[in-house]
Each structure stands twice: as C-alpha cells, then as structure tokens.
Amino acid sequence: MAWSFGHWDTYHVADSYYIYNQADLTPEILAQHILNIHHGKEPNQKFSALQIATMVIKTAGCFEIDAYYLAGLLKGESAFKTSATSNTGARGIAQFTSIALHEVFDQLGYLDSDHAAQYKYHNEINAGAKGIEYFRDVVENCFENWTDVWDLPSMKKIKIFHETKVGNNYYYKMNRNASAKLLEIMTADPQLSIIYAAIHLKVTISNKINNNPKAQLKHIFELAIKSYNGSTEYEKKRLYTNAMNTVSALRSMQTEEENIGVLAKASASAQVQF
C-alpha cells in the first residue's frame, strides 16, 4: 500500500470541540470584526465581510469546532483576505500549501492512507466507522453542491499525484502543476478554503488530544493553531497571538451587544412605566 504525506490519525475526529457558547457568535458580529480590522472597508472585492463570516460560522458548526478559534486562525493567517499570498507559497484565506492539501486529501479519502482509513471514531455508537467516512459525511451532507476538487472540469486532465519510492516504501507526492492549479482554485473559492482549514484543524486537534490526553481543550487549541502553518517558533507564536486577540475581540463585541440589548429593554420598560 502506498503512503501519502497524510499521517495523522482521526481517533477523536467525530467529537465536538467547543469552548464558548457558539450561539453567541453571529455572522453579524464576525462581519463587523472583519470590517473593524480593515478600518471599515471590505477586504475582498467578490465577497462581503458578512458572506465570509457566514461561511466561517457555518463551517465551524458543520465540523463541530469552536467558531471563535476558526475565525481566529483565519485572522492570523490572512486577515480574512481571500487573495492573500505568502513568500512560502501559501495562498487564500486559509493560507494553504501543497503539504496541507496532502493531509486534507488524505482525510477525504483521495489518497490510499492507512491512518485516515483505519483509525476509528472515539465514539462507541460509531465504533465501526472510520475517519474518512466522517469527513465525507460532513462535506457531502452539510454543504450544498459539494464537488471534490479532483472532479472539477479544470482538474480532469491534470495528474495530481505520482508515486515515489524511498527505501522499501512508496509515497504519494503532489505534482507541482497540480498543486499550483489547486491553490488557484482555493484562492478563488473561500468556502472551499475554509472547509479545508476546518478539516485540517480538526485532524490536528485529534492528533494533539491523542498525544496530550489530560490537557485542557484551550491548550489543545493552542497546540493545534501553532501547528497549522507555523514553520518557526516566532511564526507559531505570532499566529496563536493573532488568533487569541481575535477570540478576545469577538467575545468583547458579543458582550457589548448583550449590554446594548439590556439597556434597550430597560429603556423601553421605563418608558412604558412612565
């Protein structure tokens, strides 16, 4: 059996990972935060802040991960800019690279991976199910008109992977022209990019829980976010700091909105009594 770059097991992947009350974070609050960090201007030409915010919150809900942290991750990676690029070749709102694409393809079942295919859910009811089946179920049932990127017309004639032998083992390696085309597609489609980011984040969380079974969930999120794309300790710290600043800002905005609602109700009550 050939191995892909994907190597993280999915033993805990079907679990829910929430730290805060998800109902408190509305698309409107997240959209306002996106506009705030861009000084009131829309950061993207083709997609409004509200559209991006709706994608983020829906995707987090579908994969049952904390939307505050997914939003924080995207803020740290791209400041929610769909056309963002980096000098490392990462592209799009989720700053994907060819290596990260390997892992996501592995989890969606496109590659022949022992890890994604054979590790079971950490869930007694679904003890016979597999990680790939979980992710396939989410993308196919939670997102309308889901199409795998390798089934897109623009990818039909492109060979995405080739096998390479290292010692006695075979590995899948992504072809350079396929990688460039896939990243181009993801840059133009922020919803796809956010879905892939959520898959990558949840698999990373699962891996960190396996390695740190007694750790608190906040610490697991810290480890997962630092592992998402950071190549150096400085970059990992910068990404996590950005993410946590976003979480704090969103929590503050939600509290302010609640206070305004309380004041409005109190004012209306006072007027009625008068």
Phi-psi label, residue 58: left if phi above 0, alpha if psi -120 to 50, beta otherwise: alpha
Question: In the structure, what pLDDT confidence band is assigned to residue 258 with cuts at 50, 70 and 90?
Answer: low
Residues 17, 248: contact at Cβ < 8 Å?
Answer: no
Strand partners, 132: none
Residues 69, 228: contact at Cβ < 8 Å?
Answer: no
- Cβ-Cβ contacts under 8 Å for 102 (sequence gap 6 or more): 4, 5, 6, 111, 172, 174
Distances in Å between the Cα of 223 and the Cα atoms of 119, 144, 249 are: 21, 32, 21
* Backbone phi, psi, residue 13, to 5°: -70, -25
**Which range, of 43-57, 99-113, 251-265, averages the lowest pLDDT?**
251-265
Average pLDDT over residues 3-30: 80
Can you give the pLDDT at residue 253?
Answer: 92
Average pLDDT over residues 155-162: 80
Strand partners, 164: 171
d(CA 131, CA 193): 20
Only one residue has tokens 């950005």, namely 242
Question: In the structure, what pLDDT confidence band is assigned to residue 240 with cuts at 50, 70 and 90?
Answer: very high
Model pLDDT for residues 200-223, shown as the tens digit of each residue: 999 899 889 888 889 999 999 999
Can you give the pLDDT at residue 257?
Answer: 65
Can you give the pLDDT at residue 255?
Answer: 78
Question: In the structure, what pLDDT confidence band is assigned to residue 38 with cuts at 50, 70 and 90?
Answer: very high
Residues 219, 209: contact at Cβ < 8 Å?
Answer: no
Summary mean pLDDT of the chain: 82
Question: In the structure, what pLDDT confidence band is assigned to residue 28 with cuts at 50, 70 and 90?
Answer: very high
- DSSP states of 146-206 as a string? ---GGGSGGGTT---EEEEEETTEEEEEE-HHHHHHHHHHHHH-HHHHHHHHHHHHHHHHH
pLDDT above 70: residue 113: no
Average pLDDT over residues 218-241: 88
Strand partners, 163: 172
188-194: long-range contacts at Cβ-Cβ below 8 A with a sequence spacing of 24 or more? 188/82, 190/44, 190/47, 190/52, 190/55, 190/82, 190/92, 190/93, 191/55, 191/59, 191/143, 192/149, 193/82, 193/92, 193/93, 193/94, 193/96, 194/55, 194/56, 194/59, 194/70, 194/74, 194/93, 194/94
